[in-house]
């Protein structure tokens, strides 16, 4: 490496002409340097009168084409969300080591996530310990509702943030201290866009869509529905009053994600909820089920 | 508007790598299927880079077109969205390009 200009003959380094914007691979261009080494010094500081002088004049003239005006290109090849992904992996290991099933619940605002959670917690309370991390921009209203079911809950308010991130979850878990062999439900901020990008370390994402929304939501927000493993189609009790086409909606969801599991439920009446509970039972790490049965 | 958070991430990663050196250019790879809008990144970049080593840096964004491979017949198809259907009828498509969200390189002075 040239220590004066810092440019490197590393294969990945490039050189850019700031005037023209031309980019040259360092190992391809003729490496002309023109660093003036023209210094001489005399030393007269020895008490014994001994003096020496040396002058070096070595203009090593391998002419430099990027005299002072160039930058050094440094390859980063870094995922923009690398930091979040790393923390998410830590969370994932944390859950695995404790036999905890963590689910990231994602939906639009108003799809009935909190009602669905309340029902699930109440119906399964004697069987599966469930604790909750609530994510909202503001208020602790949802956390209060969940707390009233008798389970442990931590609210994370993201302020202007439109999604939870892995570090927020890690902090929330420190407070929540969920027991071994349990379920942690992470209720993400109501938003079908951003939460799709941010891994929290969950086992999987569960998308909740209500029949009061458009049936084409899965194709309108494909990132979310392709990132989710399960879709809960909620508020099914309202279907008689609506034009919502369930088959069409499920077909849209499968267009985006052929593997997605779909449950049609009403968190209000409890219809269809047993299939969802069965799915939970199947996906809880084995020892948790064994303990739950005991 | 997750691009603001995304852009903050970009500025943080590049600043960390640049140390005290001013950054003259950064190059990103943003896939067209990645749910990130390059224009929004550009808009946020001016704000996020203030008082950082990236303050005067030029922002280059390579937009990578979407491509998928059919899980059934193996054919490669162009993708305009993060899902699609192959000629063979299959909807099982694995995205092979277009979901990039990467800082490719930076140029320091």
Q: Which domains does chain B have, with CATH numbers?
A: 3-65+98-108 (3.30.2320.50)
Query: Under a CB-based contact definition with an 8 Å cutoff, are residues B98 and B66 in contact?
Result: yes
Same domain flag for A60 and A88: no
What are phi and psi for residue A210, nearest 5 degrees?
-105, 155
pLDDT of residue A37: 38
> CA-to-CA distance for A45 and A98, rounded, in angstroms?
71
Same domain flag for A90 and A233: yes
Residue A4 lies in a domain: no
Q: At what angle do helices A82-97 and A166-176 cross, to 10 degrees?
A: 30
Residue A9 lies in a domain: no
> CA-to-CA distance for A101 and A95, rounded, in angstroms?
7
Task: Measure A149 CA to nearest chain B CA, in Å.
Answer: 33
Residue A57 pLDDT more than 60?
no
pTM for the structure as a whole: 0.78
> CA-to-CA distance for A168 and A178, rounded, in angstroms?
15
Give, as one character, the DSSP assignment of residue A91. Answer: H
Distances (CA, A) of A101 to A52, A66, A97, A205, B23: 77, 57, 11, 11, 44
Give, as one character, the DSSP assignment of residue A236. Answer: G
pLDDT of residue A292: 52
Residue A24 pLDDT more than 50?
no
What are phi and psi for residue A77, nearest 5 degrees?
45, 50
A285 lies in which domain range?
82-293
> Which of A78, A106, A222 should we substitute to test contact with B (largest number of B Cβ atoms within 10 Å)?
A78
Interface contact A74-B106, CB threshold 8 A: yes
Chain A residues 84-113 with a CB less than 8 Å from chain B: 84
pLDDT of residue A293: 54
Residue A270 lies in a domain: yes
pLDDT band for A91, please (50, 70, 90 cuts).
very high
Residue A49 pLDDT more than 50?
no
pLDDT band for A291, please (50, 70, 90 cuts).
low
> CA-to-CA distance for A69 and A241, rounded, in angstroms?
70
What is the predicted ipTM? 0.90
Same domain flag for A63 and A194: no
For residue A86, the domain's CATH number is: 3.40.50.300
Would an 8 Å CB–CB cutoff place A255 in contact with chain B?
Answer: yes
pLDDT of residue B28: 97
Residue A214 lies in a domain: yes
Interface contact B103-A197, CB threshold 8 A: no
Same domain flag for A35 and A55: yes
Residue A226 lies in a domain: yes
Same domain flag for A60 and A162: no
Q: Which among A73, A94, A120 is the end of a domain?
A: A73
Of A170-174, A181-185, B27-31, the poorest mean pLDDT is in A170-174
Interface contact B83-A16, CB threshold 8 A: no
| Average of per-residue pLDDT across A83-87 | 93
Residue A5 lies in a domain: no
Same domain flag for A69 and A142: no
Same domain flag for A68 and A86: no
- Which of B26, A271, A272, A270 lies closest to A261, judged by CA? A272
pLDDT of residue A69: 55
Interface contact B83-A222, CB threshold 8 A: yes
3-class secondary structure, A54: strand
Q: Which among A73, A99, A123 is the end of a domain?
A: A73
The two three-digit tokens of residue A95, written as one number:
């859950």
Residue B28 neighbours by CB distance under 10 Å: 25
pLDDT band for B1, please (50, 70, 90 cuts).
low
> CA-to-CA distance for A210 and A232, rounded, in angstroms?
8
CB-closest option in A18, A84, A223 to B82? A223
Query: Under a CB-based contact definition with an 8 Å cutoff, are residues B11 and B103 in contact?
Result: no
> CA-to-CA distance for A276 and A230, rounded, in angstroms?
9
Same domain flag for A136 and A274: yes
Please tell me the total count of domains within chain A. Answer: 2
pLDDT of residue A271: 97
| Tally of residues, chain A | 294
Interface contact B25-A16, CB threshold 8 A: yes
Same domain flag for A236 and A209: yes
Same domain flag for A132 and A172: yes
pLDDT of residue A285: 85
Residue A149 lies in a domain: yes
Same domain flag for A97 and A45: no
pLDDT band for A103, please (50, 70, 90 cuts).
very high
Interface contact A76-B81, CB threshold 8 A: no
The two three-digit tokens of residue A151, written as one number:
């389970």
Residue A6 lies in a domain: no
- Which of A18, A21, A23, A4 lies closest to A75, judged by CA? A23
pLDDT of residue A275: 97
CB pairs under 8 A between A and B: 93
Of A63-72, A145-154, B39-48, the poorest mean pLDDT is in A63-72
Neighbouring residues of A228: CB distance < 8 A, sequence distance ≥ 6: A106, A204, A205, A206, A207, A257, A260
pLDDT of residue A2: 30
Query: Under a CB-based contact definition with an 8 Å cutoff, are residues A128 and A288 in contact?
Result: yes
B109 vs A contacts (CB less than 8 Å): 71-72
Same domain flag for A145 and A257: yes
The two three-digit tokens of residue A213, written as one number:
């929304």
Residue A158 neighbours by CB distance under 10 Å: 17
pLDDT of residue A11: 32
């Amino acid at each position: 490496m040239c220590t004066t200009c810092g440019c490197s003959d590393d294969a990945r380094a490039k050189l850019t002409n700031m005037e023209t914007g031309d980019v040259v691979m360092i190992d391809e261009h003729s490496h002309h340097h023109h660093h003036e080494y023209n210094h001489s010094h005399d030393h007269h500081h020895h008490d014994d009168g001994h003096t020496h002088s040396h002058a070096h004049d070595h203009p090593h003239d391998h002419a430099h084409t990027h005299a002072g005006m160039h930058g050094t290109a440094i390859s980063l090849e870094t995922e923009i969300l690398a930091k979040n992904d790393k923390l998410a992996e830590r969370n994932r290991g944390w859950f695995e080591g404790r036999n905890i099933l963590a689910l990231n619940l994602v939906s639009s605002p108003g799809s009935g996530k909190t009602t669905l959670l309340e029902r699930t917690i109440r119906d399964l309370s004697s069987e599966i310990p469930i604790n909750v991390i609530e994510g909202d921009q503001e208020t602790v209203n949802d956390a209060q509702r969940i707390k009233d079911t008798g389970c442990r809950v931590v609210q994370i308010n993201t302020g202007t943030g439109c999604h939870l991130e892995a570090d927020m979850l890690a902090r929330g878990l420190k407070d929540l201290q969920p027991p071994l062999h349990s379920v942690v439900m992470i209720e993400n901020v109501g938003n079908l866009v951003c939460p799709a990008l941010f891994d929290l370390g969950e086992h999987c994402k569960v998308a909740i869509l209500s029949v009061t929304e458009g049936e084409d939501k899965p194709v309108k927000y494909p990132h979310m529905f392709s990132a989710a493993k399960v879709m809960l189609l909620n508020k099914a009790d309202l279907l008689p009053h609506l034009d919502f086409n369930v088959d069409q909606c499920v077909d849209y969801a499968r267009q985006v994600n052929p593997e997605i599991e779909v449950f049609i439920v009403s968190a209000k009446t409890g219809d269809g909820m047993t299939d969802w509970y069965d799915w939970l039972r199947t996906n809880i790490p084995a020892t948790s089920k064994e303990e739950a049965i005991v | 508007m997750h691009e603001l958070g995304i852009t903050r991430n970009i500025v943080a990663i590049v600043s960390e790598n640049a140390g005290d050196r001013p950054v003259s250019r950064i190059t990103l790879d943003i896939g067209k299927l990645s749910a990130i809008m390059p224009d929004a990144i550009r808009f946020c970049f001016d704000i996020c880079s203030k008082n950082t080593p990236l303050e005067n840096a030029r922002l280059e964004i390579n937009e990578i077109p979407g491509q998928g491979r059919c899980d059934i017949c193996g054919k490669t198809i162009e993708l305009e969205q993060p899902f699609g259907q192959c000629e063979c009828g299959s909807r099982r498509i694995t995205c092979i390009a277009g979901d990039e969200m990467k800082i490719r390189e930076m140029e320091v002075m």
